[in-house]
Amino acid sequence: MTACHRISPNDGHYFFAYYDKLQFCPQDRWVLMQRAEFWDRQPRADDVLRVGMVDRQSDWQWTEIGQTTAWCWQQGCMLQWVPGTASKVIYNVRGPSNYESLLVDVVSGEKQALPRAIYCLHPAGDEAISLDFARIGHTRPGYGYEGIADPNREVLAPNDRGLWTINLKNGESTMLYSIAAIAKINPNPETEGAMHWFNHALYNPSGSRFIFLHRFKNNNRRHTRMYTCDRDGGNLFQISDSSIVGSWHASHFWWQDDNTIMMWGESYDKDGGVYLTVKDGATTSTQTLDRAQLPTDGHMSFHPNGEGRWLLSDNYPNRVTNHRDLFLFDVKNSKRHDLGSFEAGPYSAYDPKTQTMRCDLHPRWSRGGDLITFDSVHEGYRGVYLADVSRVINTHA
């Protein structure tokens, strides 16, 4: 097992949240995180989340950057460093009538308000994808925000809500797809009468294309269609569709390279899932990883060197031990290297009453790829932990 230690203070509940954001500054000195005053319930509209960072060169001293009331346990307030900048971060905030975002230069203190909330950032740092967090708040509890009601709560597939891109320099935004437009594609009995929304998006390494998930719920069964498209919304391609036999329910995913997607996929009849590599634009080009070593879903990402060999991931708690595993998987040699196993805490991922408060590990790479961080509650509160994985990687180079 690899040694790890807590880098967050012990005066509150700290976490970074999702696994697909840049937590480390370009020099791997400042590490972003968020602080809450509780951990035993869902956030309410008036609950304040403190946004800040700790300093590796100053005994992990905490510096507060700002505060927000637009957040959730699974993905926080989308706090992340802006690619291509030395000292800018971005996170979501709640405006008078809409969820918005705020750019902050942590050195100069300069701030820039943007009219829409962000989900993910382009690798060049010049634009972002925006999704509707008010709609996600009731269609996928635990991933949206409280405080602004969805005006289309009773509308199955609204025309005025969808997926937007935002120019981070001037704040201008463009809708690429409405929920209604995507919901009309390939209708079947599962799509008819279903509640539709968008969730999860990620650019490929060059930023030429991105993934997004179209989700819909019918008769208490949630379906997922994974799509890819060009940066401007062109060349839409459907990767998978869990509402038809023979395809996959896409869960977590990552780009292995510009044309290859690593994902967890479950079959239509839910008889199990596998780690899959899928070629963007190809309907039959799939390859599965070793199911014996990777038997369950996890939050996966590849080493930032771009080679597509070292996969960092976790899993959901063992139902007997209530522990989550943290590991690296060497795709080249099909070999798993366990880094640790951690108590998952009192809020079960399998209990509908508590699953929105669960603390997934959501492991993340440093920019240099020698360090990783993860969130955990194994000490009895939410904390952020760090481990050096360079020895594992270098030993098996």
38-72: per-residue pLDDT in tens? Answer: 999 999 999 999 999 999 999 999 999 999 999 99
Confidence (pLDDT) at 269: 65
CA atoms within 13 Å, Cβ hemisphere of 20:
22
Distance CA(80)–CA(4), nearest Å, equals 22
Confidence (pLDDT) at 397: 81
Closest CA to 375 of 13, 78, 10, 112: 13
Q: What SS3 class is residue 393? A: helix
Q: Is the sign of the CA dihedral 355, 319, 392, 204 positive or negative?
A: negative
Confidence (pLDDT) at 117: 98
| pLDDT over 90 (residue 77) | yes
Confidence (pLDDT) at 351: 93
DSSP structural state of residue 271: S
Least confident of 71-85, 184-198, 285-299: 285-299
CA atoms within 13 Å, Cβ hemisphere of 394:
7
Confidence (pLDDT) at 219: 85
Least confident of 15-24, 108-117, 280-289: 280-289
Contact at 8 Å (CB) between 187 and 198? Answer: no
DSSP structural state of residue 7: -
Confidence (pLDDT) at 128: 98
- Alpha-helical (H) ranges within 168-294 are 179-183
- In order of their start, the domains of the chain are 115-133+149-294 (2.130.10.120)
Q: Which residues pair with 384 in a beta bridge?
A: 375
Q: How high is the mean pLDDT of the chain?
A: 95
Tokens matching residue 251 = 């869960």
Other beta carbons within 10 angstroms of residue 154's beta carbon come to 8
Tens of pLDDT along 86-115? 999 999 999 999 999 999 999 999 999 999
Phi, psi (degrees; rounded to nearest 5) at 42: -70, 145
Confidence (pLDDT) at 283: 67
Confidence (pLDDT) at 7: 98
Confidence (pLDDT) at 247: 87
CA atoms within 13 Å, Cβ hemisphere of 389:
30
Distance CA(277)–CA(289), nearest Å, equals 8
For range 178-197, the mean pLDDT? 97
DSSP letters spanning 276-299: EEEETT-SS-EEE--TTT--S---
DSSP structural state of residue 9: -
Distance CA(218)–CA(301), nearest Å, equals 31
Q: Could you tell me which residues come within 8 angstroms of residue 309 by beta carbon, excluding any fewer than 6 positions away? A: 302, 303, 330, 331, 332
Q: What SS3 class is residue 39? A: coil
Distance CA(146)–CA(47), nearest Å, equals 9
For range 65-90, the mean pLDDT? 98
Contact at 8 Å (CB) between 213 and 198? Answer: yes
Q: How far is CA 240 from the centre of its chain?
A: 19
Distance CA(109)–CA(87), nearest Å, equals 10
Confidence (pLDDT) at 270: 60
Amino acid at 192: E
Confidence (pLDDT) at 271: 62
Tens of pLDDT along 244-278? 988 889 999 999 999 999 999 988 666 668 899 99
Tens of pLDDT along 200-242? 999 999 999 999 999 999 988 899 999 999 999 999 999 999 9
More confident residue, 49 or 286: 49
Distance CA(163)–CA(181), nearest Å, equals 11
Distance CA(246)–CA(269), nearest Å, equals 9
Closest CA to 310 of 380, 259, 370: 370
Tens of pLDDT along 312-360? 999 999 999 999 999 999 999 999 999 999 999 999 999 999 999 999 9
| pLDDT over 70 (residue 121) | yes
